[in-house]
Structure 1
C-alpha cells in the first residue's frame, strides 16, 4: 500500500500568508510539524512606471523586466499610489518616477514598515528632485544629469560590478562578469554616502543606495529597470537582488549559491513535542548550511532570520524517507507496556509442602516406623495429598470485580458509554483532565477514570457519572434503569450533558435535547430549577455564578429547593442542608473544556485567546465545585460558615 495522500488548497493571498505551520492532529512530536517560511508567502507588490510604454517596444517598457521577475512569486498590484496604499502592499516599486504627489501618505506607509524600491531612468535624471536638498523618498542626494559610459560619445568602457560588501544585503551573491553598466544616475558625494551604499561599480561609484525610515526603508537602483542603461535586468543577479531585498519570495528553497555569505540567526526552535520556544542564546548559522539542512545539535529545527527574510528548518527535511526498521532474525521487539507478571507463589508453596513431607518421611524412616502396613498407608495418603494440590500457573482473570475493587478504593470519575467512539474518547479525556485538576488543587486524589456500561456494570461504587447525550444513543434496558434509580436514591449523581448549548436552549429544540427526554423518562428525577444564586454548587470550593464548558450562556438545572426553604434575615443564602441534587442537567459540553491529551495539554479549543483560556479555567472550577459538592454534600450551607463566607464575599 502506498500510504500517501495529496491535498491541494487554493487559498487567497491573505489566508496563505497567515499559515505558519502544518501539523498532524493528535501527534505531539517535532516530526509531526512542518513550519512554513517565505517560500509559502506571496508578497503584494505594487508597480508604478513613469514613462508610457512605446508601441511595439514592450521590452523597453520601464517595468517589463520587473513584471517578468516578480510575477511567478508575488501578487502584482497596479494603480495610483493612493489606490495601491489602500490595498496594503508589502512593497511599492517606482520605475523611473520623478515626482510623487502622495509623498506624506507614502512616508507614513514606509514609517510603518513598508519597502519602497525606486529605479532610475531618463525622467528621474532630468528632474531637479533631490538635487539641492534630500528628497524624503530618496536615500541620497543626486547629481544633475547622469553618467554615460561605453557609448559612442564617451571615452570609457562600460563598467562592471564590484563584489558586494559584507554589510550589504547582497553579500555573498556571485557577480556575473557579463553584467555591465552603460548609464546611471550619480549620487552627490558626502560623508554619509558610504553608509547608505549597499552595491557599487568596480570604480567605487554607488549602484544601489538605501536609507532607513522608521520601521521601513527606501532603496534606489541608480540604473533603469529595463535594458537601456545596463544588462543587469537581463541577468539572474537581478532576481536574486530583489529576493535579498525581500521584494519577492521564491516558491522553492534558496540554493547554496543564493545563501552564500549570509548569516542566519535562530528566532524560535522546536522542542521534541513540536512546540516553538525561545532561541536567543544560539549562535548564527552560515547560509550555506541552510540550503540542504541537516538537523542536529548545531542546526536545530525552527525558524531562522536574516535581515527581513525567514527560512524554516523542519525535523523531517525534504527527501527524507521514513521506513519501518528491519531487525535481525531472533530480535524480539517489545513496546513500553508493563511486562505481565508470572505468579510463582503457588509453585514455591507446593515445593515447601513437598520438602516438608519429604522431611516427615525421612524422620519416620529413620525411626523405623515405615515398615509393614504403615508404609502402604503413608504412600496412599501422600498420593492423595499431591493430587489434591490446586493447579498452579493459571493467570488471574481480569474480571469486573477487579474494576469494582479499584473504584471502591478511591474516588473514580466515570462516564456512560454512548456507543460513539469520538464522544466516549472525549469524555474519558475530559474526566482525566478534571481528575488532574482535582489532584493538584484539592485533597481529593481521584483514580483513573472509567467507562461504564449501564447494562453490565455495577454503579454503586461510583459517586459521580458523566453522561454525554448523543442523538442516536441506545436506550438502556429495564434492568439498567432499575440500577440507575437505585443509584440516584442512594446518593449518586449524574451530570447529563447534551453538548448543544451553541445551537439551542434548554428543552427539545435539538436532537440531543429530544434524546435526553427519552433517556430520562424512566428515571425518578425530582422537580428541577436553574441553579439559584445561593445554591451550594456556587461555593462548594470556588465562588462561582456561571458554569461554562466549551460553550457558555446556557442554564444549568438542579433539583428544585424545598418550598419551605426561606432566606433568613441577615443570611446570604437559604439553609439547604438536607439532600443533594441527584442530577445536574446542562449542555455546555464540559468534557470538551476539561479534555487533555497524554501530555496534559488541552485537547479542544475553547473561545478565543485569553478570554477562551479564562473560560476553560472557569469550566475547571465548575468541575471542582461539582465533585466537592458530590463528596461533601451541603456541608457549605451550614450556618457555621456564614461569617467566613460573608468575609470572602465582601472581598
Structure 2
C-alpha cells in the first residue's frame, strides 16, 4: 500500500492515469472546433434572425476544470483510497509472525487486542506477505506461514486463557529463517520473556504493541491478626487509584451474593496495597471468593478454600501431672498447634456442646457422665469429629474392654504397653510408612519420632480397617471409625510428650490438618498432597467467571502444590478426599513485574485509527461532478430551457438517488407498521451478535411472563437502531452496554433526549453488577454514552420507590447477578404523607434505570420457552429468576401506568372535598 499522509491507496499504479489529464485538456480545448469565418455579401439578409442553437467557440475554463475533476475523482476511486491505512513500518518482503500473549492479563481488553491483530494481518495480506500467528498460552507447536485469510479466521476464534504465557517453551518452536514479529503483549514480565525476546530479535525486526492501562490483580486472602487480609497488586505504578473488592459467598438460603466489601487504595507510585476485613466467624466461613468490582480477569478473582475457614475446636483434658508444670498439661501441645489456625473453645463438655463446635478433643478423658455421653453421641452422629488421646487415666480405666464403646473406635486392652525403659523388654518404636488407604498417606515419617508407651487395641475383625497409622511392628497408633455422619478418632498415645515425641514434631500438625481438625495452609507442601488426586469442582476462565469443569481430568496433589496454573491445571477449586484446595492465578508470593523492552524495539499502543475505504466516496463525487457537467453543458449550449424540473429529475434518476429514497421510505414505513400495529418491547442493537441475540431472547421471555400474568400482551421484541429508527413508537428501551459500543451521533442524541423528555424510559444494563461509577469497561462506556443525554440526578433506588410495588412487592431487583440499581433521585421536598407507607416522589416515570444485573440473561428463553442460562444454584437460583421476572413486570407496568400508586397520597384530600 502506498500512502500519502493519512490516505493510502491499495492500487497506487492506477494513479498514473492522472498523468493523462493534460490530454483531456487538449482534447476539450479542441472540441468543439472553432467556427470558420467567411465573408458573405448577402449577410444583410441574415440581420434580425435568431439562432436557437448556439455553439461556443471554445470550452470554458470552468467547465474544463469541472470535467477534469470528475475524471480525477474516478481515477482516484479506482486506485482504492483508504483513510488511516495501517502500513508496515519495516521490510515488507519478510514473512510476518504475530505473537499474542493470550494470558489472563489480556482479558481486560481482549477485543482491542484481537482488533489490532486483525488490522495487522489484513495489511500484511494486502501487501502480499505470508503470515503466522501464535498464542503464547498454547502448547508450543511450530507455526507455518500462509496467506492472510486462514490466519484471520483463526484469530477471530481466539480467547485468552487463565494462566501466564509460556514464553520459554516457545523458543524452540519458532519458525526457521528470518521473519518480522509484531508482539501484542500484556505489559507484564514472565519467566523466559527476555530469552524469547532475544530469539525473536535474532530472526528479524520486532515491534511491540501494549496498552498503557494498568494490570490490577488480587492476591489470595489470608487470615491474620483476627481479620481477613486482602492484598492488591497493580502494574505499572501510577496515580492514586481505588478499587472495591467484593467478598462473595452463600447466604443462609444458599444463594450466592455479596456478603461484605472492602476498598483497596493504591497510593501514587505504589504497586501494592492491603486492606483488612473484620468478619464474624460464621460469615467468614461462608466466603467462597473475593473479586475486584468492575475488573473482569482471572487475576482479579481469588477463590477461598479450607485455608480461610477457622474451625471451632473444643479442648477438654485433665490437669497436668504436677501442678505448675505447663509442659506436662495434656492439652499444652494441642493448644500450641491449634491456636494459630483454629478458634479454641474452653469449658465443660456440656457447655461446649451448646456452642456447636466442629471438633471436640478429649485428652486422656476416661469417664463421662450419662448426660455428657448421650450429648456427645448425638453430636458425633450429626456430623461432628471427636478426637481422643490416650493417657494414664484411659489406660487404667475399664472403658471398652468387653464391649465396644460408641465413643471409641476400637476395644482397648487393660493397662498399656511400655516400650524402652528399665521395666520393659523392648526399645522405643518408630512409625511405619502410612498406607495408601490412610488419610496420612504421602506424609513423610521423621526417624526421630518414637513411641515409648501406648494403649493397645483388642484384636477384632475390623481392627485393620480402622487403623490409619501403625508402628513399625504393626501395632495400631491411630484408629478411626464412622458414627452416623461423624467420626471418632483415637491416638493411642498422649497429647503431650509423656508417651511419645510425636506432639513435638511437625508431623503432628500435618496429621491434625489431614484430619480436618485445624485449618489447612494456603500453599500446602508437595509431600502433604503426595499420593492424592484432586478432582476439579469449578474452574475460572480468563475473564474470572466460574465454570463447570466438563471433561477435565483429576490433578495429582503434587502438581497442585506448586501453586502455578497451566494448561493441565486451570485455576479453580479442587476437591480431594478430605480437603478443598483453591488454585488461583496469583499466588501469595506473586508480585507483578513490568515487561522491559530494549531501546531499539518500538513500542506502540493498542489503539489504531480505523481504516475507512474512500472508494465509494470518490465514485459518488465523480458521479455528482459528471451530473453537474451535464447541466453545465446544457447551460452553455442554451438548451436549459423548458421543463427544468423534468430534466433535474432525470439527472437524479441517473444518479440513483430517487430509487434509493423510495427504498428508504418503504423501509421506514415497514418498520413503523411493525412497531405500531402491536405492542412490542424494544432493545437497542449494539453490533455484537451475541449480546443482541441475548437481548431478543430476554425480552421474549419477559413478554411471555407479561402475557401470562398481566393484561399486557406484547408481540415479538424488535431491534432498534438509534441512528436510523424512530424511537417515538416505543415507551421502553432495553439498552445493554458493551465495552466497544460506538457513541451515538449528534442526531441520535437528539432523538434520545426527545424520547426521554416525552415520557420514554431506557433500562441501561452494563451486565457487571456495578453502578455507573464502577471501573469496568462497560461502566466507563456508559459514562461516555450518558454524558450527552438529558438525564436527571440519580440515586440508588429507595425502599419506597414505586418500582418496589408497581405490580409485585419487591426488595431486590436481581437479574443473573444482583447489584444496586439507580433511578431518578427523589425531589428534595419529598415527604411521607401521614398514614401512607411511602412518599410522593414524582409525577412521571423515571426516565432511566441503570444497573449491571444482566437482566436479559435471567429473562432469556429459547423458542420452546425454556430458560437459556442458569441463574444461581438449585431452588435458590430459580427463586432469583422468579424475582428477576417480577422486576421486569414491575418495570413495564411502571412505564405504562406511571406513579399512579404514589397518587394515593391525594386520596384523603379528594375524599374530604367530595364530602364537602
Q: Which of the numbers 537, 550, 567 marks the counterpart of 1:267? A: 537
Equivalent residue for 2:298? 30
Report the secondary structure of 2:883's partner residue.
Answer: helix
1:105 aligned onto 2:105:
no
Alignment of 1:617-628 (within 5 A): 617-623=885-891
Quote how far apart the aligned CAs of 1:118 are: 0.3
Equivalent residue for 1:306? 576
Equivalent residue for 1:539? none
Report the secondary structure of 2:387's partner residue.
Answer: strand
Decide whether the 8 Å contact of 2:732 with 2:895 is kept in 1: no
Report the secondary structure of 1:14's partner residue.
Answer: helix
Decide whether the 8 Å contact of 1:594 with 1:619 is kept in 2: no
Decide whether the 8 Å contact of 1:210 with 1:220 is kept in 2: yes
Q: Which of the numbers 323, 337, 347 marks the counterpart of 1:69? A: 337
Decide whether the 8 Å contact of 2:386 with 2:489 is kept in 1: yes
Decide whether the 8 Å contact of 2:434 with 2:442 is kept in 1: yes
Equivalent residue for 1:244? 514
Q: Which of the numbers 414, 436, 446 marks the counterpart of 2:719? A: 446
Cα deviation code 1:51-78 (max 9, x no counterpart): 4563221111111110011111111001
- Give the distance between the partners of 1:236 and 1:38, measured in 2 at CA: 19
Equivalent residue for 1:13? 281
Quote how far apart the aligned CAs of 1:317 are: 3.5
Decide whether the 8 Å contact of 2:467 with 2:480 is kept in 1: yes
Q: 1:145 to 1:609 in 2, by over 3 A?
A: same
Cα deviation code 1:78-103 (max 9, x no counterpart): 11111111111111100000012212
Decide whether the 8 Å contact of 1:200 with 1:208 is kept in 2: yes
- Give the distance between the partners of 2:496 and 2:390, measured in 1 at CA: 10
Decide whether the 8 Å contact of 1:432 with 1:595 is kept in 2: no
Superposed CA RMSD in Å reads 4.7
Q: Which of the numbers 97, 114, 135 marks the counterpart of 2:384? A: 114
- Give the distance between the partners of 1:109 and 1:619, measured in 2 at CA: 44
- Give the distance between the partners of 1:24 and 1:193, measured in 2 at CA: 52
Decide whether the 8 Å contact of 1:110 with 1:216 is kept in 2: yes
1:39 aligned onto 2:307:
yes
Quote how far apart the aligned CAs of 1:109 are: 1.4
Q: 1:202 to 1:342 in 2, by over 3 A?
A: same
Decide whether the 8 Å contact of 1:497 with 1:588 is kept in 2: no
- Give the distance between the partners of 1:438 and 1:247, measured in 2 at CA: 51
Equivalent residue for 2:419? 149
User: TM-score scaled to structure 2, two decimals?
Assistant: 0.46
Equivalent residue for 2:461? 191
1:295 aligned onto 2:568:
no
Q: 1:152 to 1:290 in 2, by over 3 A?
A: same
Decide whether the 8 Å contact of 2:333 with 2:496 is kept in 1: yes
Report the secondary structure of 2:509's partner residue.
Answer: helix
Q: Which of the numbers 406, 428, 442 marks the counterpart of 1:136? A: 406
Q: Which of the numbers 210, 220, 236 marks the counterpart of 2:490? A: 220
Decide whether the 8 Å contact of 1:497 with 1:587 is kept in 2: no
- Deviates most, 132-141 or 108-117: 108-117
- Give the distance between the partners of 2:589 and 2:755, measured in 1 at CA: 62
Equivalent residue for 1:437? 698
Quote how far apart the aligned CAs of 1:205 are: 0.3
Q: 1:141 to 1:619 in 2, by over 3 A?
A: same
Equivalent residue for 2:616? 345
- Give the distance between the partners of 1:193 and 1:144, measured in 2 at CA: 17
Q: 1:309 to 1:448 in 2, by over 3 A?
A: farther
Q: 1:621 to 1:82 in 2, by over 3 A?
A: same
Quote how far apart the aligned CAs of 1:551 are: 6.4
Quote how far apart the aligned CAs of 1:292 are: 1.5
- Give the distance between the partners of 2:811 and 2:848, measured in 1 at CA: 5
1:49 aligned onto 2:49:
no
Q: Which of the numbers 170, 175, 179 marks the counterpart of 2:449? A: 179
Decide whether the 8 Å contact of 1:498 with 1:586 is kept in 2: no
Equivalent residue for 1:81? 349
Cα deviation code 1:498-551 (max 9, x no counterpart): 878744477xxxxx9xxxxxxxxxxxxxxxxx98xxxxxxxxxxxxx5485846
Decide whether the 8 Å contact of 2:756 with 2:847 is kept in 1: no
Report the secondary structure of 1:290's partner residue.
Answer: helix
Equivalent residue for 2:481? 211
Report the secondary structure of 2:717's partner residue.
Answer: coil
- Give the distance between the partners of 1:123 and 1:32, measured in 2 at CA: 54
Quote how far apart the aligned CAs of 1:256 are: 1.8
Q: 1:356 to 1:594 in 2, by over 3 A?
A: closer
* Long gaps (5+) in structure 2: 1-237, 239-269, 630-636, 638-667, 684-690, 704-714, 735-749, 763-791, 815-841, 861-868, 899-916
Decide whether the 8 Å contact of 1:269 with 1:278 is kept in 2: yes
Q: 1:622 to 1:167 in 2, by over 3 A?
A: same
Alignment of 1:482-497 (within 5 A): 493=760
Quote how far apart the aligned CAs of 1:302 are: 1.2
Report the secondary structure of 1:253's partner residue.
Answer: coil
Report the secondary structure of 1:288's partner residue.
Answer: helix
Equivalent residue for 1:517? none
Cα deviation code 1:557-590 (max 9, x no counterpart): xxxxxxxxxxxxxxxxxxxxxxxxxx98468996
Decide whether the 8 Å contact of 1:550 with 1:593 is kept in 2: no
Alignment of 1:545-564 (within 5 A): 545-546=807-808, 550=812
Decide whether the 8 Å contact of 1:549 with 1:619 is kept in 2: no
Quote how far apart the aligned CAs of 1:151 are: 0.8
Equivalent residue for 2:883? 615
1:200 aligned onto 2:467:
no
Cα deviation code 1:106-158 (max 9, x no counterpart): 12211222111000000000110000000000001111110001011111111
Report the secondary structure of 2:487's partner residue.
Answer: strand
Quote how far apart the aligned CAs of 1:267 are: 2.3
- Give the distance between the partners of 2:327 and 2:853, measured in 1 at CA: 64
Q: 1:587 to 1:132 in 2, by over 3 A?
A: farther
- Give the distance between the partners of 1:191 and 1:603, measured in 2 at CA: 50
Q: Which of the numbers 236, 256, 259 marks the counterpart of 2:526? A: 256
Q: Which has the higher contact order (CA 8 A, sep 6+)?
A: 2
Quote how far apart the aligned CAs of 1:260 are: 2.5
1:170 aligned onto 2:431:
no
Q: 1:353 to 1:94 in 2, by over 3 A?
A: closer
Report the secondary structure of 2:344's partner residue.
Answer: strand
Report the secondary structure of 2:376's partner residue.
Answer: helix
- Give the distance between the partners of 1:280 and 1:152, measured in 2 at CA: 63
- Give the distance between the partners of 1:436 and 1:624, measured in 2 at CA: 17
- Give the distance between the partners of 2:808 and 2:793, measured in 1 at CA: 16
- Give the distance between the partners of 2:484 and 2:400, measured in 1 at CA: 20
Equivalent residue for 1:471? none
1:464 aligned onto 2:731:
yes
- Give the distance between the partners of 1:462 and 1:131, measured in 2 at CA: 88
1:232 aligned onto 2:502:
yes
- Give the distance between the partners of 1:433 and 1:449, measured in 2 at CA: 18
Q: 1:182 to 1:323 in 2, by over 3 A?
A: closer
Equivalent residue for 2:221? none
Report the secondary structure of 1:103's partner residue.
Answer: helix
Quote how far apart the aligned CAs of 1:246 are: 0.9
- Give the distance between the partners of 2:569 and 2:616, measured in 1 at CA: 55
Report the secondary structure of 2:612's partner residue.
Answer: coil
